[in-house]
Structure 1
């Protein structure tokens, strides 16, 4: 075979069709990932390591979560919204100068109090396992297959989220429940999931646009009622004063983003990437606004004209991560949800050209954006949600997205090849 024919075969089978993405290879990669994730968490929590303070506290993001929940049980929840006092508290308990901010609303603090009664490391493990289990259930509802769901929760982004003890598995699970609820016409349940998702408000910026475009008033009302009820529960548990302090310190998060208090290389937003490339705050926010308007337009168009959830989820979730200026690497876990819908549709109806390879790129790079940005100066993170948004738009514009019956999806076949 000539070199030209070899190149043609490689391009068509390797890139265009993604024929090399077989179950054998994917299964082996997932097995290695699962073993690596398990050993990594065991090392992090059970073995002395570089992430531990002198007294053994694991200095990861969950430390601030555990302390926030603990302050609820101790009757002093307002401390977490006072940066000076909260930093001093962390230093006192950990014996380290490394501290973490807490910029989440009091509703999330109430949820964290459920785990705060446990010792720190047990709470860390419990939080990661329970939220990842919810994400697995969400992926199972989407794909109709437990094996595929298990593969999706051990992709690099999920592993990155687990090591940090962050909440992206929880927010991704809630997004999945919301989208499945709409697909199966369980609109009130979809609204409940959406109302709980307000623990991270920046992830819901485009959701009202989607609901209004699709004239989905029941989910809108359900989400509003759930949000109000959740807020009232937090007021009953924490007191109204905590909300006043939360709103008073809210500008701190914006200031931290502007001055680089959170490394721009660890961010995945258009804003963060442009700041790392040397652009100023105002110019970066202007480009961020343009990206946000473009994402909003795509969401409005798709949710107004298409019922296909593979298209809707890809455009909404991809657009969500493009519209917010404040999102970090672990938030790429959210892309698991549109990937689940796209893989389900691809296994059932066939993958469009290049889709499998593009999905593999998104999944493969989902935990690699900080090293690429910080070590190599390549802030590629916004490209990943952009690829997902593109795949959704392409499906709609090409007519690949049909109007499917809602209900339990078919089980996947024994091969990933289209």
Structure 2
């Protein structure tokens, strides 16, 4: 195909994908914005948990943020609609599960009035997200795709921190080879949402990236020391107790609706399996995914494909992921968009795969509204794209990002 034909084809592909992304973006915004204006939609519900925890930290009672009943009293001041919540999960206290290092984010935000803090928090997350996406693939269509994913919208509306965690994970991958010290420091920052980093050590050790491992380990120790000195060592005990209670009596007993756990474990409990059987299957799948990811990283394939495999695999190894965490898959798609083509026409097939994969992820993302766990199917969609990509015989290893 000549250059003019390829340019025309690319233009048509970008235009079709851009229109689809704009439709996906406009649909939920048109539905939600009127409710935000009339006050019937609880914008920033999850962020109210962060803001309240930050308020306690400013009052020198950071450890009290792990007491769900005390935290709920503060949340009710800014989200009084929780007393008439439409979903049963909101009838119990909204918990604060995050490691104490999260207070370094929550406390400065609590210096501001809640609405101002929410919009600053949202703008900062979106800016980080946009910068990482642009660094992966500096094209407007990539930005549109990364923003027009249902989990991204969910994260924005409730004020969660998944976009920030996914941005850090993307930054870690972008700096992994050319700036290993920076990559290690970013890993340390990711401990505020530790499940996002569970797969990283396996890949780093399997590929011998010891500078990253050592930097991350030392930086995490320093962060823990600074956290204890700043917010009190009792926050570590508070987090430990909250994590145990969350595991034994919140996530794994059905107090949190099963459809909210976007994991293999959550799907199986949603289907009626007991704890033992569901957890055994989840662990088996997680182990298989970890092995698969390490095999991909040791193969001579594009770094973009390796990055996508880690992003998709990360969301399958922990039972704790929620729907807004699936925003990470948008980064996986952007990485796959930037993967170099093979010599046998993979450019067209790659574009088709992106279009089909994006369509499936959008449909599954909105299917969550029907209160069903869709996360594993979303991850499986990206893994299928990676599998097809790895089967192409002419895919070469490209330069590492950084």
TM over 0.5: yes
Shift of 1:407: 5.4
Question: What is the TM-score of this pair, normalised by structure 2?
Answer: 0.86
Separation in 1, partners of 2:24, 2:123: 16
CA gap of 1:144–1:281, structure 2 versus 1, over 3 A, is same
Count residues in correspondence: 380
Give 2:191's aligned residue.
198
Check conservation: 1:318, 1:388, Cα contact below 8 A: yes
Give 1:416's aligned residue.
none
Q: Which runs of 5+ in 2 are unaligned?
A: 1-8, 84-89
Shift of 1:293: 1.0
**2:206 aligned residue (203, 213, 222):** 213
Please list, as runs of the form range in 1=range in 2, the aligned pairs for 1:309-348 lying within 5 A after superposition. Answer: 309-345=303-339
Give 1:133's aligned residue.
127
Please list, as runs of the form range in 1=range in 2, the aligned pairs for 1:105-120 lying within 5 A after superposition. Answer: 105-120=99-114
Q: What's the CA shift string for 1:118-139, capped at 9, x where partnerless? A: 1111111111111111011000
CA gap of 1:161–1:223, structure 2 versus 1, over 3 A, is same
**1:250 aligned residue (243, 246, 250):** 243
CA gap of 1:59–1:164, structure 2 versus 1, over 3 A, is closer
Matching of residue 279 in structure 1 with residue 247 in structure 2 = no
Separation in 1, partners of 2:155, 2:340: 27
Check conservation: 1:310, 1:392, Cα contact below 8 A: no
Please list, as runs of the form range in 1=range in 2, the aligned pairs for 1:139-150 lying within 5 A after superposition. Answer: 139-150=133-144
**1:229 aligned residue (210, 222, 226):** 222
Please list, as runs of the form range in 1=range in 2, the aligned pairs for 1:43-192 lying within 5 A after superposition. Answer: 43=34, 46-49=37-40, 51-52=41-42, 58=43, 60-91=45-76, 94-95=79-80, 96-97=82-83, 98=90, 99-182=93-176, 185-192=178-185
Matching of residue 363 in structure 1 with residue 361 in structure 2 = yes
Shift of 1:24: 2.3
Question: What is the TM-score of this pair, normalised by structure 1?
Answer: 0.83
Check conservation: 1:271, 1:287, Cα contact below 8 A: yes
CA gap of 1:198–1:20, structure 2 versus 1, over 3 A, is same
CA gap of 1:33–1:398, structure 2 versus 1, over 3 A, is closer
Give 1:350's aligned residue.
347
Shift of 1:144: 2.4
Separation in 2, partners of 1:347, 1:128: 35
Shift of 1:400: 4.8
CA gap of 1:85–1:93, structure 2 versus 1, over 3 A, is same
Q: Which runs of 5+ in 1 are unaligned?
A: 1-17, 53-57, 409-418
Separation in 1, partners of 2:78, 2:140: 41
Check conservation: 2:14, 2:141, Cα contact below 8 A: no
Separation in 1, partners of 2:147, 2:395: 25
Q: What's the CA shift string for 1:340-392, capped at 9, x where partnerless? A: 110122679615466234422343135324224x2xxx543311112212322
CA gap of 1:66–1:45, structure 2 versus 1, over 3 A, is farther
Shift of 1:306: 3.6
Shift of 1:109: 2.1
Check conservation: 1:314, 1:391, Cα contact below 8 A: no
Shift of 1:315: 1.6
Report the RMSD for the aligned CA atoms in angstroms. Answer: 2.6
CA gap of 1:297–1:77, structure 2 versus 1, over 3 A, is same
Matching of residue 22 in structure 1 with residue 3 in structure 2 = no
